Amino acid sequence: MEHDLNSQGKINAAQRMRYFMLVGVLSCYCTYFLYMDIDGFFISFTNWTLIITTVSLMASINAGNDSTNYGKDSLQTAETAVHT
């Protein structure tokens, strides 16, 4: 369903929410670097969690846009599979 909307050039509510949450997560980076030293960024467990969350959101956005690998026919095998 989500990939059918992407093929029509529309962005569904789930993808729009992913972009909104990515902006929210990126604002955490901005506020950290405004008030803290860059030397201590990788020490805190919270910052590592922030990095993992950011990567997860970006992977989810890419999967939502990729109908070849994550679309309706992505589980087909052999000669009918689309390899990019």
Identify the burial level of 70 via C-beta atoms within 10 angstroms of its C-beta, where 0-12 means exposed, 13-18 middle and 19 or more buried.
middle
**23-27-32 Cα angle (round to 5):** 155
Burial track 7-22 (b if 16+ CB lie within 10 A, e otherwise): eeeeeeeebeebeeeb
- Encode pLDDT of 7-62 as tens digits: 556 668 888 899 999 999 999 999 999 998 888 888 888 889 999 999 999 998 88
Work out whether the CA dihedral 79, 81, 82, 84 comes out positive or negative. Answer: negative
- Residue 16 domain flag: yes
Instruction: Look at residue 83 and tell me if it is in a domain.
Output: no
Is 9 among the domain residues? yes
What is the reported pLDDT for 66? 77
Given a cut of 80, whether residue 2 has pLDDT beyond it is no
- Domain that includes residue 24, residue range: 2-66
